[in-house]
């Protein structure tokens, strides 16, 4: 990459050019007053950041201008949001204070900048608790959603300019983006931004696969364009004949979605039938939208046979995000399935701009508005009641961000929206926390079902209650919604606290009988003796009878202090550092940390890294170093939530060591095929096999082999040779299902 050359005159012109571009993009800021406020924010930000530069060497002001433009152009936010986007880093990074913001711009701007400053730690590389920062970010969501929308715009620009960061920072930021920002953008209806965030994250976490898919899409672009043009010709004529004002677009599936299917679901690029979709956007009055959309559907299906299982009506019942559209999948004359999306111009605006577009159409889109309001209320409810650790909260919350939705009816016919996979117990807690807590069962479509029954769209549910019922620990296995989990945990915690209170009284009486003072030093001594983490846990175990104070042994009491004979104190066993060497000098194959030190390590079983793989080290709670592949199934969560425990690691050379790895293949069963495969592995490649298994079913075979290889290059050569065997269809490196 060319070094950045500083030229003040050129930079000054470029800053003004970018500012002019921002004003052109600010479609909602028409008045002179709006433009004055934006100019004032620009001047304040320009002055405050005048001596600052980005990692690329460019003036820092480029960044807030870009974030403000994303807010205006790609999200469609108002003047207040553009002002705050221009100022979003000033309080964090410059001499400007919140008081200055309040005095210069107003209380609303001060509140939004305050929210943005509080969550700035999410992007802070030195932060040791990403989960807590994410939680802070969500707290601001319940105050003013614009805080999160500006933060998403900030993250999008950072992802677009990530090239100048070090590799380890790129991985952390990309993982964080996949972990929280993309799901949040999805839930707020910012589908284009969600897609771009996912694609950019993939560019840094899986660069080779990203490039491969990009190249294949580029090579097939001309063929796709010809196909789309031919497909839409009869539709255009028919729509014009019906006097519709319309636009037809072809939309290619995102690189991330294609990668998901290719590498996670083991589908070949050629077999992904929905690589692109056709979108028909009609201009029609709000009162005629639904009828006209179905009229267009009728025209489409006059020409192309629809797949009845692939019809999605999000016009009658919009998604919780407010998304409205009619989707159908039809068969083209060439035998390809094509997804067709039908929507009005208003619906398309909402699909493109998400939550922000609801302000524009508020009076015409009350159902979608209510859905979003209900979701924000649920977040507020979960946040206010949550006293659990932040990571647990984020994991629960994140489950619901990407979930598809189902629609459930109450006995009175009221409609409730729940994430797909929700159970009768989730529904009970959605009605009210007390209804959930006293739920003993449910009737679904007038049939009695257990609490764990998984609901389906269209079910009518009646909850059966008992005043004697209280939440149970196993209920956590029956629910999928974050709000239900939180309410159950809260109830269990309160019950545990009450039981612990009884245990505390029992211990107090025991101490009195032994002339031991009820002081924290004595409580700590007992915790140490029984190897417990907290006083509450100690009291709870005593109350439940798991610790029998009558059988206390090996202690002495002096001046009100109790002490135990060290010989009888139970000690937690430290997990031994496992040796994985297959030859002397194992630790020399990997260099760990910034100083490239040689340390003991263990290879994580969840991804089985081998030399040549892109890897990182992770320090476990035991102080052990585990080595994971960058594309390990657990990597996104580890890099995002525990960045402070992640250390650099790289293979240091090609030692002649062998590492075990699994290879999975499928093909068409044929005489001698097994012999050909084993011959390539053992004879041609000189690879030792640890285990091999084949299974044949109706002419198709599946095979699994565990082999010893030297490094990634050795493994890839072996897999390429296997792919060239006649009859073999797929060859993939298999992931272990064991937890690390």
Sign of the alpha-carbon torsion through 581, 582, 588, 590: negative
pLDDT exceeds 50 at position 517: yes
Token pair for 433 = 């926390």
Model confidence at 399, pLDDT cuts 50, 70, 90, reads low
More confident residue, 583 or 667: 667
Quick: pLDDT tens for 297-353. Answer: 999 999 999 988 888 898 988 877 678 899 999 988 888 888 999 999 988 888 877
Place of tokens 């009695």: 448
d(Cα 697, Cα 700) in Å, to the nearest integer?
A: 5
CA dihedral 146, 150, 156, 161 (to 10 degrees): 180
Bridge partners for 463 per DSSP: 442
Helix or strand holding residue 424 (H, E)? helix 424-431
Alpha-carbon separation of residue 659 from 161, 610, 617 (angstroms): 37, 6, 18
Mean per-residue pLDDT for 708-717? Answer: 81
Q: What span, in angstroms and rounded, lies between the C-alpha atoms of 391 and 550?
A: 39
Question: Residues for the chain: how many in total?
Answer: 740
Give the pLDDT band of residue 273 (cuts 50, 70, 90): low
Mean per-residue pLDDT over the chain, rounded: 80
pLDDT mean over 415-441: 88
What confidence tens digit (pLDDT) does each residue in 193-205 have?
999 999 999 999 9
Give the whole-angstrom CA distance, residue 24 versus residue 272: 39
Contact between 220 and 196 under an 8 Å Cβ cutoff? The reply is no
Q: By 3-state DSSP, what share of the chain in percent is helix, strand and coil, each rounded to 5?
A: 50, 20, 30
Mean pLDDT of 532-559: 82
Catalytic site residues?
92-93
CB atoms within 10 A of CB 369: 18
Quick one: what percent of the chain has pLDDT higher than 70? 81
Single pTM value for the model: 0.65
Q: Which range has the worst mean pLDDT, 373-382, 529-538, 634-643?
A: 373-382
pLDDT digits (tens, 9 = 90+) for 435-445: 999 888 889 98
Beta strand residue intervals within 391-466, DSSP E: 405-409, 415-419, 439-444, 447-449, 461-465
Q: Which residue has the higher pLDDT, 187 or 177?
A: 177
| Token pair recorded at residue 149 | 């929308």
**pLDDT band for position 29 (cuts 50, 70, 90):** confident
Phi, psi of 189 (to 5 degrees): 80, 10
Gap between the terminal Cα atoms of the chain: 38
How many helices and strands (H and E) does the chain possess? 28, 22
Query: Is 437 within 8 Å of 487 (Cβ atoms)?
Result: yes
Q: φ, ψ for residue 626 (rounded to 5)?
A: -110, 135
359-377: pLDDT as tens digits: 555 544 455 555 555 655 6
pLDDT tens digits, residue range 133-143? 566 666 655 56
- pLDDT value of position 128: 41
Is residue 460 within a helix (H) or strand (E), and if so which, with residue range? none
Domains of the chain as residue ranges with CATH: 8-204 (1.10.3210.10), 214-368 (3.30.460.10), 490-568 (no CATH), 586-651 (no CATH), 659-734 (3.30.70.260)
* Alpha-helical segments (H) within 49-97: 62-69, 79-87, 90-93
Report the pLDDT value the prediction gives residue 140, as an integer from 0 to 100: 59
- Are the CB atoms for 80 and 112 separated by under 8 Å? yes
- Measured CA to CA, the distance from residue 163 to residue 606 in angstroms comes to 29
């Amino acid at each position: 990459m060319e070094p950045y050359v500083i030229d003040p005159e050129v930079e000054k012109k470029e800053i003004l050019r970018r500012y002019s571009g921002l004003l052109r993009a600010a479609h909602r800021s028409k008045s002179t007053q709006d433009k004055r406020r934006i100019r004032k924010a620009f001047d304040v930000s320009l002055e405050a950041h005048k001596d600052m530069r980005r990692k690329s060497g460019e003036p820092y002001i480029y960044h807030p201008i870009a974030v403000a433009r994303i807010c205006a152009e790609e999200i469609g936010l108002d003047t207040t949001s553009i002002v705050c986007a221009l100022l979003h880093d000033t309080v964090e990074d410059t001499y400007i204070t919140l008081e200055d913001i309040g005095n210069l711009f107003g209380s609303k701007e001060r509140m939004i900048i305050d929210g943005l400053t509080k969550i700035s730690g999410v992007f802070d590389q030195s932060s040791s608790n990403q989960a807590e920062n994410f939680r802070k970010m969500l707290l601001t969501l319940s105050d003013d959603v614009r805080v999160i929308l500006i933060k998403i715009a900030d993250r999008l620009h950072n992802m677009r300019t990530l090239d100048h960061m070090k590799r380890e920072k790129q991985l952390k930021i990309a993982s964080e983006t996949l972990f929280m920002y993309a799901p949040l953008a999805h839930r707020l209806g910012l589908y284009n931004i969600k897609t771009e965030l996912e694609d950019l994250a993939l560019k840094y976490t899986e660069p080779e696969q990203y490039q491969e898919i990009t190249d294949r899409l580029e090579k097939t672009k001309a063929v796709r364009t010809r196909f789309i043009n031919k497909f839409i010709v009869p539709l255009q004529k028919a729509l014009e004949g019906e006097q519709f004002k319309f636009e037809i677009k072809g939309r290619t599936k995102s690189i991330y979605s294609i990668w998901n299917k290719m590498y996670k679901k083991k589908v070949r690029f050629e077999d992904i039938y929905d690589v692109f979709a056709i979108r028909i956007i009609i201009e029609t009055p709000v009162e005629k939208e639904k009828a006209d959309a179905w009229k267009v559907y009728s025209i489409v299906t006059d020409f192309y046979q629809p797949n009845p299982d692939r019809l999605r009506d999000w016009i009658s019942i919009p998604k919780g995000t407010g998304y409205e559209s009619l989707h159908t999948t039809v068969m083209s004359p060439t035998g390809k399935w094509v997804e067709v999306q039908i929507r009005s111009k208003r619906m398309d605006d909402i699909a493109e701009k998400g939550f922000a577009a609801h302000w524009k159409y508020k009076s015409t889109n009350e159902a979608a508005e209510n859905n979003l309001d209900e979701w924000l209320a649920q977040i507020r409810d979960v946040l206010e009641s949550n006293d659990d650790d932040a990571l647990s909260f984020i994991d629960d919350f994140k489950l619901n961000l990407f979930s598809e939705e189902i629609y459930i009816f109450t006995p009175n016919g009221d409609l409730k929206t729940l994430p797909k996979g929700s159970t009768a117990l989730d529904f009970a807690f959605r009605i009210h926390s007390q209804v959930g807590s006293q739920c003993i069962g449910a009737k679904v479509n007038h049939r009695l079902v257990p609490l764990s029954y998984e609901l389906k769209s269209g079910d009518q549910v009646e909850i059966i209650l008992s005043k004697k019922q209280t939440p149970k620990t196993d209920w956590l296995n029956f629910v999928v919604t974050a709000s239900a989990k939180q309410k159950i945990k809260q109830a269990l915690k309160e019950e545990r606290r009450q039981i612990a209170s009884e245990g505390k009284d029992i211990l107090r009486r025991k101490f009195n009988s032994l002339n031991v003072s009820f002081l924290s030093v004595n409580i700590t001594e007992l915790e140490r003796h029984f190897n417990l983490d907290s006083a509450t846990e100690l009291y709870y175990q005593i109350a439940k009878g798991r610790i029998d104070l009558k059988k206390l042994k090996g202690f002495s009491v002096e001046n009100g202090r109790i002490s135990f004979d060290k010989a009888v104190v139970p000690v937690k066993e430290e997990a031994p550092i496992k040796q994985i060497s297959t030859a002397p000098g194992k630790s020399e194959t990997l260099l760990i940390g910034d100083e490239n030190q040689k340390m003991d390590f263990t290879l994580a079983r969840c991804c089985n890294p081998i030399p040549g793989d892109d890897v990182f080290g992770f320090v476990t709670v035991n102080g052990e170093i585990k080595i994971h592949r960058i594309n390990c199934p657990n990597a996104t969560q580890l890099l995002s939530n525990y960045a402070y425990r992640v250390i650099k690691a790289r293979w240091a050379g090609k030692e002649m060591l062998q590492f075990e790895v699994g290879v999975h293949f499928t093909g068409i069963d044929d005489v001698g095929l097994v012999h050909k495969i084993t011959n390539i592995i053992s004879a041609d490649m000189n690879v030792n096999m640890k285990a091999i298994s084949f299974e044949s079913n109706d002419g198709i075979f599946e095979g699994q082999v565990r082999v010893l290889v030297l490094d990634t290059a050795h493994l890839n050569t072996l897999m390429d040779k296997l792919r060239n065997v006649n009859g073999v269809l797929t060859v993939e490196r298999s992931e272990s299902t064991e937890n690390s």
